[in-house]
């Protein structure tokens, strides 16, 4: 094959790749549900707001691991054996426990598998949960407040002089 064809093909391929990247980076495409209805009523406004339970009490891995972690039924139960045990909702909670049937919470914030996001690095750098999750303590139902797109990550990384190397987030 002629060499000029090969080079021409390569240039086309590269520009197509670059344009696709540019499009994905700049278009504010966002089709994922921001505030799905959860299978069981749980209010952050009531727990983290009115009763001031610290975020890390329930999301206890956030400062130690990549995942923040969602509390297990046994954690709910340890308080609700004593708090409002007669409330109809809490009775349903205890029935779940008796059947050993965990609540299938629907994920609100999630990244594709090819992206590495370590919670602990951010918590240790002193970034508040609210910078990325909004004012959760006022939310009756959790709502995603940011795009979670690459441009959003990079914007804050530039601002804080954190790494913007591709390999930082793509392993
Ligand atoms: C009493 C326990 C408890 C406390 C305290 C609590 N959370 Fe949660 N959190 C949960 C549970 C249970 C869920 C899953 C159900 C839901 O989404 O509402 C959750 C879900 C979340 C989610 C959504 C997870 C996802 O799917 O993306 C975020 C973000 C979050 N919490 C942040 C916070 C922040 C920030 C605080 C402190 C202001 C906090 N939470 C305090 C129990 C708690
Ligand atoms: C650290 C203690 C604590 C933990 C852990 C906890 N709660 Fe609560 N929960 C409370 C308090 C305090 C209230 C408010 C009670 C009131 O105002 O009457 C409450 C209220 C509730 C209510 C409302 C009850 C009603 O009658 O309307 C529900 C539902 C509930 N919690 C579910 C959960 C679930 C699900 C979990 C686990 C993911 C959980 N709670 C974990 C302390 C806790
Ligand atoms: C720098 C931004 C940022 C900060 C700060 C942050 N989060 Fe997150 N959080 C995210 C992203 C991004 C995801 C989705 C991660 C994924 O899918 O891998 C997420 C997911 C979650 C989830 C659901 C999945 C999981 O990790 O278990 C919970 C719960 C959560 N965050 C709680 C918190 C709490 C509590 C704090 C503060 C102690 C906090 N986050 C601080 C960006 C952040
Ligand atoms: C609100 C600001 C902010 C946002 C948004 C943010 N980060 Fe960060 N991130 C930081 C800071 C600051 C550090 C540096 C922590 C350090 O070096 O101690 C960091 C560090 C990291 C690291 C570790 C870097 C290293 O050198 O090992 C990874 C990986 C990372 N962030 C991924 C992400 C991803 C993926 C997103 C988007 C989903 C994101 N971050 C969004 C502020 C942010
Ligand atoms: C601070 C973290 C971070 C850094 C640094 C970063 N990315 Fe990303 N990247 C992300 C996140 C988060 C997504 C997922 C965004 C989404 O789902 O829309 C993503 C998505 C992508 C995608 C789209 C893949 C897909 O499935 O849609 C490509 C391609 C990509 N990044 C390439 C790069 C290249 C090349 C670099 C280096 C110049 C880079 N990224 C640096 C966080 C980062």
For position 25, what pLDDT does the model report?
58
CA distance 56 to 103: 20
pLDDT for residue 28: 53
Q: How far, rounded to the nearest angstrom, does the alpha carbon of residue 73 sit from its chain's CA centroid?
A: 20
Tell me the mean pLDDT per 10 residues along the chain, length 171. Answer: 81 82 62 87 97 97 97 96 96 96 95 96 97 97 95 97 96 84
Q: Residues 144, 55: contact at Cβ < 8 Å?
A: no
CB atoms within 10 A of CB 154: 14
Integer Cα distance of 18 and 171 in angstroms:
20
Ligand 1 lined by 10 (C-beta under 6 Å): no
- Give the residue, out of 25, 66, 116, 121, with the most ligand 4 atoms within 8 A of its beta carbon, to mutate for a pocket test: 121
pLDDT at 22 (0 to 100): 72
Who lines ligand 3 at CB under 6 A? 55-56, 59, 62, 67-70, 109-111, 117, 119, 122-123, 127, 129, 131-133, 148
Tell whether the torsion through CA atoms of 45, 48, 49 and 51 is positive or negative: positive
């Amino acid at each position: 094959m002629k060499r000029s064809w090969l080079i021409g093909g390569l240039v086309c391929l590269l520009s197509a790749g670059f344009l696709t990247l540019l499009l994905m980076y700049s278009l504010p495409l966002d089709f994922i549900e921001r505030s799905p209805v959860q299978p069981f009523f749980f209010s952050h406004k009531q727990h983290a707001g009115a009763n001031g339970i610290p975020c890390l009490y329930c999301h206890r891995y956030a400062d130690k691991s990549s995942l923040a972690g969602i509390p297990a039924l046994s954690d709910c139960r340890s308080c609700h054996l004593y708090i409002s045990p007669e409330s109809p909702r809490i009775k349903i909670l205890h029935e779940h426990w008796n059947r050993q049937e965990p609540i299938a919470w629907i994920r609100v914030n999630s990244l594709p598998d090819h992206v590495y996001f370590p919670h602990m690095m951010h918590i240790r750098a002193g970034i508040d949960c609210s910078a990325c999750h909004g004012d959760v303590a006022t939310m009756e139902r959790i709502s995603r407040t940011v795009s979670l797109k690459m441009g959003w990550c990079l914007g804050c990384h530039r601002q804080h002089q954190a790494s913007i190397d591709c390999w930082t987030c793509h392993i």
